[in-house]
């Protein structure tokens, strides 16, 4: 497998339940579709614990990444909690953190 090459193996819309995800990952693992000793495996998900649990079961070395949409959703929840009715402060905080995320400054957001 060439370095820098991305290989799409499974999409969220292909699975709907914990059991279906487990079956899909089991099939992928069994078929040897991912050469774990030759790639860095990354899983992008919505943050649902059951997804990370199944990924860790079959691919424990995989890096877990929260997808951008759900991250933004969590930021909106946090900013509303933090600043309440102060809409201008909410907007400033949110825009600053979205910018930090865009530039990869995750620890600055946390």
Question: Tens of pLDDT along 40-86?
Answer: 888 888 888 998 999 999 999 888 888 888 888 888 888 999 998 89
The residue with greater pLDDT, 99 or 33, is 99
Work out the burial of residue 21: count CB atoms within 10 Å of its CB; fewer than 13 is exposed, 13-18 middle, 19 or more buried: buried
- Would you say the pTM of this structure is higher than 0.75? no
What φ, ψ does residue 2 adopt, rounded to 5°? -70, 140
Alpha carbon 44 to chain centroid, angstroms: 3
Is residue 90 a contact partner of residue 75, using CB atoms and an 8 Å limit? no
Give the confidence band of 4 by pLDDT, cuts at 50, 70, 90.
low
Q: Which of 100, 103, 80, 102 is nearest to 91 (CA)?
A: 80
User: Beta 63-66 vs 42-45: how paired, if at all?
Assistant: parallel
DSSP label at 66?
E
pLDDT for residue 12 is more than 70: no
To 10 degrees, the CA torsion angle through 54, 57, 59, 62? 70
Q: Which of 15, 75, 67, 21 is nearest to 43 (CA)?
A: 67
Question: Tens of pLDDT along 73-94?
Answer: 888 888 999 998 899 999 999 9
């Amino acid at each position: 497998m060439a370095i820098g090459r991305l290989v799409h193996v499974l999409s969220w819309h292909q699975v709907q339940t914990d059991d279906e995800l487990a079956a899909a990952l089991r099939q992928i693992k069994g078929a040897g579709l991912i050469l774990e000793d030759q790639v860095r495996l990354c899983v992008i998900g919505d943050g649902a614990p059951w997804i990370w649990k199944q990924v860790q079961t079959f691919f424990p070395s995989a890096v877990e990444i929260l997808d951008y949409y759900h991250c933004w959703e969590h930021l909106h929840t946090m900013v509303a909690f933090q600043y309440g009715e102060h809409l201008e402060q909410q907007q400033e905080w949110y825009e600053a953190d979205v910018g930090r995320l865009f530039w990869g400054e995750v620890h600055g957001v946390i």
